[in-house]
Amino acid sequence: MLNFTSATIFSPEPAALPLAVQPKELLTRQQVLARNHVRIVGHGKPPLLLCNGFGYNQRVWQSLVTALAQDHQVILFDHVGTGGSDVAAYDADKYAHLAGYAQDMLDICRVLELEHAVLLGHSVGAMIALLAASQTPAYFAKVVLLTPSPCYLNDPGYYGGYERADIEQLLALLQTDSQGWTSLFANLLLGPLATSDLAEELYKCLSSTASSMTQQFARVTFLSDHRADVPGLSLPTLVVQCQEDFIAPAEVGGYLLAHLPNAHLVNLPTAGHCPQLSASLATLAALRPFLQAA
């Protein structure tokens, strides 16, 4: 068991919500783009939509954007409650489930009128991407899941990497000692590559962990189980994992490969959970053949 500071334990995760979380009324293009702080790099090329993981702002992709924009119109955004998003748009009921974040992504696709886009999701953003692409595949041509995990909890016959008590203590630490939690989380994300420069860059990519919105997002991230949704993604899919990842172990990549209908797995010869930061060249090398394939 991981050694976290003990504190008040979160209550059990909420019951599963149907995938579609429809807004009461459709938001306009301007409202959606402002809500999620959407930024577009380049025009007139096939769209590539980047979906952040838990707590990150879109800066997490900056090492890849210039290279990706050579062949794609790169679309970046922030989840509500993170980065430059409109925090006034936060709805605790909606974002108590990953489906709420997936609906935001589909709103972005709708107002930008995307067709045949490539969807690249990182960490829990990969699961958000999977939910969105499964619900409305017409927007997308293919999907990349970067260091994904459909379930972080161990279960008989499944290794997610964590026991329930580990996760509860991690979440409790976030609630009572956000600074200590950020330091611990950064070490988990970077693993043995946690140099001071890389850690400093990662901190710039993370939203305030003291925020109640971030705390709820953490709870939803680490207590969700979306294994049942994995087979619903039928689009061509690339799963990219790192050889040594304390957040999403190698066994998870094997599970996804076995349960995704149309997937290919690439193992990066590096450590950590954020290879777009720590190993950007290796990450680009893994992405390019899949992105350039017809």
Q: What is the pLDDT of residues 68-127, one digit of tens each?
A: 999 999 999 999 999 999 999 999 999 999 999 999 999 999 999 999 999 999 999 999
85 an active-site residue? no
166 an active-site residue? no
- Cα distance between residue 130 and residue 137, in whole Å: 10
Catalytic residue chosen out of the listed positions 123, 134, 149, 207: 123
Asked if residue 224 belongs to a domain, the reply is yes
112 touches 139 (CB < 8 A): no
Asked if residue 68 belongs to a domain, the reply is yes
Q: What is the pTM of this model?
A: 0.90
Asked if residue 40 belongs to a domain, the reply is yes
Distances (CA, A) of 33 to 105, 109, 200: 11, 10, 29
Catalytic residue chosen out of the listed positions 149, 226, 273, 278: 273
Query: Tell me, what's the pLDDT at 1?
Result: 40
Asked if residue 23 belongs to a domain, the reply is no
- What is the distance of C-alpha 69 from the center of its chain? 20
Query: Tell me, what's the pLDDT at 23?
Result: 58
Helix locations, 29-144, DSSP H = 29-35, 62-68, 98-112, 124-135
273 an active-site residue? yes
Asked if residue 124 belongs to a domain, the reply is yes
Number of domains in the chain: 1
Catalytic residue chosen out of the listed positions 134, 166, 245, 278: 245
Query: Tell me, what's the pLDDT at 83?
Result: 92
Residue 81 half-sphere exposure, CB side, CA atoms within 13 Å? 23
Asked if residue 36 belongs to a domain, the reply is yes
Running along the chain, 294 residues long, what does each successive block of 10 average in pLDDT? Answer: 34 39 78 98 95 93 96 97 94 97 98 97 98 98 98 97 94 87 83 78 80 92 97 98 94 97 96 93 97 88
Asked if residue 90 belongs to a domain, the reply is yes
Query: Tell me, what's the pLDDT at 280?
Result: 95
Query: Tell me, what's the pLDDT at 22?
Result: 55
CATH number at residue 143: 3.40.50.1820
Asked if residue 54 belongs to a domain, the reply is yes
Owning domain of residue 260: 29-292
Angle among Cα 197, 201, 207 to the nearest 5 degrees reads 145
